[in-house]
Structure formats: C-alpha cells, structure tokens
C-alpha cells in the first residue's frame, strides 16, 4: 500500500486529471513502480461533506496510474447519480482515493471486520460493492453491512444467503485531501 508521499502524489494526479478536462495541465503519472501495479481503485468526490461522485474498478484491470486518471474523470463527469462537475465546483471538491486489496471469498458475517473490510456481492441478479469506510461512517454492524451491500446491488436484504451469491471482503488503503 502507498506511503504518505505516494498518497499525496496520487491525490494530486487525480485532481490534475479532473482539472485537465477544464483546460488544466495534462496529468503526468509518476515513474514510481506503484503506478504500474494492477489494483482495484475507487475515486470519490465530496462537496461540503456530501458525496458528489464515486466510480472505480473492483479489480486491477490496468495500471494503477491509468486507473486513477480514468476513475477520477469518471467520478467527476460520468457518475449517473450526479450532473457532470462544473469548472466552478472544482475548488470545492475534496478527493478521496481507495486502493483495494485482493477479494477474499467469505460465507457470512462472521468474517467481516467493520473498519477493515469492504464488501462485494456478485449475484446472478446484480452485483454491488461498498467500501470499508461506508460501514464506519454509518456505524453499521456486520449484518447490516451485508444487507446494505445487497441493497446496493438491487437485491433483497437477504440475497447474500442465496446459494448462487458470491461474497467477498477486501481491505483498502483509503486516504483523502482532508
């Protein structure tokens, strides 16, 4: 996982990639080997403490540097829950990055540690992911966290118990501009 300097550089890269869409400088991926690793990553935007966009990759499909650029722009301009970010909002946005660890299969709530784990459910009728910080922010218990990841996937609260459901926990390095 990234050290403090790498975290600052990752946040700067994400901000630079968004600013570039408003005629800012082109993002430059540092030469650090970390940026070549294939990792899952989510970029979240917050405005006045409220979510303003969040998009990411569950798995490492491409190099981390490329994923940060792509997901920062996607969170700012293509999250279907929000209108595209306007240039006058850029200074009000606080960025948060979540770099995901490996997906670890689980069977139930006993394997979940609130504050450490995020959840991913893959079900024939939908899939959903909640980052580790969500359960902490909402002060959820492990069973409530499981119900909420099902809800995020558009499933019933108990869909995680279905035989065809695949459940995973994962850890993440989560850091922000705050």
Indicate if 74 and 12 belong to the same structural domain.
yes
- Number of CB atoms found within 10 A of residue 109's CB: 16
61 belongs to a structural domain:
yes
| Residue 44, strand partner residues | 54, 96
Indicate if 108 and 83 belong to the same structural domain.
no
Confidence (pLDDT) at 33 = 96
Confidence (pLDDT) at 178 = 81
Helices and strands in the chain: count of H runs, count of E runs: 4, 7
What 3-state class would DSSP assign to 148? helix
Contact call for residues 120 and 114 (beta carbons, < 8 A):
no
Four-residue CA torsion sign, 17, 119, 174, 86: positive
Give the whole-angstrom CA distance, residue 66 versus residue 41.
10
Q: What is the pLDDT along the chain (178 residues), one digit of tens a residue?
A: 899 999 999 999 999 999 999 998 899 999 999 999 999 999 999 999 999 999 999 999 999 999 999 999 999 999 999 999 999 999 999 999 999 999 999 998 999 999 999 999 999 999 999 999 999 999 999 999 999 999 999 999 999 999 999 999 999 999 999 8
Confidence (pLDDT) at 107 = 92
DSSP3 helix / strand / coil % (the chain, rounded to 5): 35, 30, 35
Distance between the two ends of the chain, CA-based, in angstroms?
19
Indicate if 66 and 21 belong to the same structural domain.
yes
Give the whole-angstrom CA distance, residue 80 versus residue 122.
21
Confidence (pLDDT) at 77 = 98
Q: How many domains is the chain built from?
A: 2
Q: Helices 4-20 and 64-77, interaxial angle, to 10°?
A: 50
Confidence (pLDDT) at 25 = 87
Confidence (pLDDT) at 1 = 81
177 belongs to a structural domain:
no
* Domain limits for position 71: 4-100
Residue 76: exposure state from Cβ atoms within 10 A (0-12, 13-18, ≥19): buried
Decide which of 50, 67, 100 is a domain's last residue: 100
Indicate if 124 and 48 belong to the same structural domain.
no
| Residue 127, strand partner residues | 122
Confidence (pLDDT) at 131 = 94
Tell whether pTM > 0.85: yes
93-100 and 166-176 beta bridge pairing: antiparallel
């Amino acid at each position: 996982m990234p050290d403090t300097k790498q975290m600052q550089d990752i946040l700067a890269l994400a901000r630079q990639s968004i600013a570039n869409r408003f005629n800012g400088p082109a993002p430059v991926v540092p030469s650090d080997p970390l940026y070549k690793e294939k990792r899952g990553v989510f970029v979240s935007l917050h405005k006045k403490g409220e979510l303003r966009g969040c998009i990411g990759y569950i798995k490492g499909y491409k190099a981390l540097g490329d994923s940060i650029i792509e997901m920062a722009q996607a969170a700012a301009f293509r999250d279907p829950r929000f209108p595209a970010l306007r240039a006058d909002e850029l200074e009000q946005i606080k960025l948060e990055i979540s770099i995901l660890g490996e997906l670890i299969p689980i069977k139930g709530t006993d394997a979940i540690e609130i504050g450490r784990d995020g959840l991913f459910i893959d079900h024939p009728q939908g899939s959903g992911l909640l980052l580790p910080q969500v359960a902490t922010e909402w002060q959820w218990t492990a069973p409530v966290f499981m119900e909420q990841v099902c809800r995020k996937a558009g499933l019933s609260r108990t869909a995680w118990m279905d035989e065809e459901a695949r459940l995973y926990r994962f850890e993440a390095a989560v850091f922000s501009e705050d």
